[in-house]
Amino acid sequence: MKFLEYAGIDAINSALVFETAECKVYGRVEPYSCKAAGADKKLYKQIEIKYDPSNSPPDSTDGPSSSFRNIISPFGPLDQPASRRTLFYLIGTLNASFPDYDFSDAKPEQFRKEPSVSMVVNSVNSTLLNHGNDRAVKELRIWDSIDNLIDFEDSDVYSYNPESDSDPNDEEGAGTLWSFNYFFFNRKLKRIIYFTMRGVSYGAPCEDGDEDDFSDLSDDDVGFASHRRKSYRYDDYVAGEMDMM
């Protein structure tokens, strides 16, 4: 997966890092191309070996693909290549966004296909507004920018809901109070927008650069600090020649 540079992304992500009376909130929006890189090719092969029924011994009753149809999947039957590709894209996006983690063992049932884009937009808006951040919604109009990148009309939305021991947003001692992970996926554009956010208690350890980001803010400015992302190794995800679509 290749991270896509976008001129307005820094302003959006700055507005998604803010403080409330109850917690500190860290959010980010990341656009990715579905062009597979070197780090993705191994993952793709692992998923094919694991879920492609042609790699399994025949079932004496229903044939080699019957067990895969019974696996819970929001992408459709995993004996279908398109379903496995969608799983690959979402796991590849997580690996790109959290390069210190390996999500290759993420299970299909840990993802969910959301009913509609509008429901997700309303849910995120409610989270932002309930935490006092109307600037991101009303002033920066983040959804207009995201729509320009992904085209909501042709997109599906998936969420990632892992167990706490496999959620990078919910590490032991991280002080995470709540979090969400959404993927806006446009198959035609071969593009994914990853939108994640979490609320962290004030007793939790600071993230990289967090003290600098908030220390110089006045009371009026708190909530819209510029947040420096961790130094993610995007060079590991430079697009290669392999396109799975």
Q: 204-237, pLDDT tens digit by residue?
A: 766 655 544 444 444 444 333 333 333 333 333 3
State the pTM of this model. Answer: 0.79
What number is the average pLDDT over the span 88-112?
94
For residue 153, what pLDDT is reported?
Answer: 96
For residue 206, what pLDDT is reported?
Answer: 65
For residue 167, what pLDDT is reported?
Answer: 72
Distance of alpha carbon 23 from alpha carbon 20, whole angstroms:
5
Q: 67-98, pLDDT tens digit by residue?
A: 555 667 899 999 899 999 999 999 999 999 99
**Nearest Cα to Cα of residue 225 among 238, 239, 215:** 215
For residue 227, what pLDDT is reported?
Answer: 30
Cβ 158 vs Cβ 194: under 8 Å:
no
For residue 59, what pLDDT is reported?
Answer: 56
Cβ 148 vs Cβ 31: under 8 Å:
no
Q: 157-211, pLDDT tens digit by residue?
A: 999 998 766 677 776 557 889 999 999 999 999 999 999 999 999 887 666 555 4
Evaluate the CA torsion angle 94, 91, 128, 11 in order and state its sign.
positive
What number is the average pLDDT over the span 105-129?
96
For residue 164, what pLDDT is reported?
Answer: 67
pLDDT for 51 beyond 80: yes
Percent above pLDDT 90 for the chain: 61
**Which positions ≥6 away from 236 have C-beta within 8 Å?**
37, 38, 39, 96, 99
Beta strands in 86-208 (DSSP E): 111-113, 156-160, 176-186, 191-200
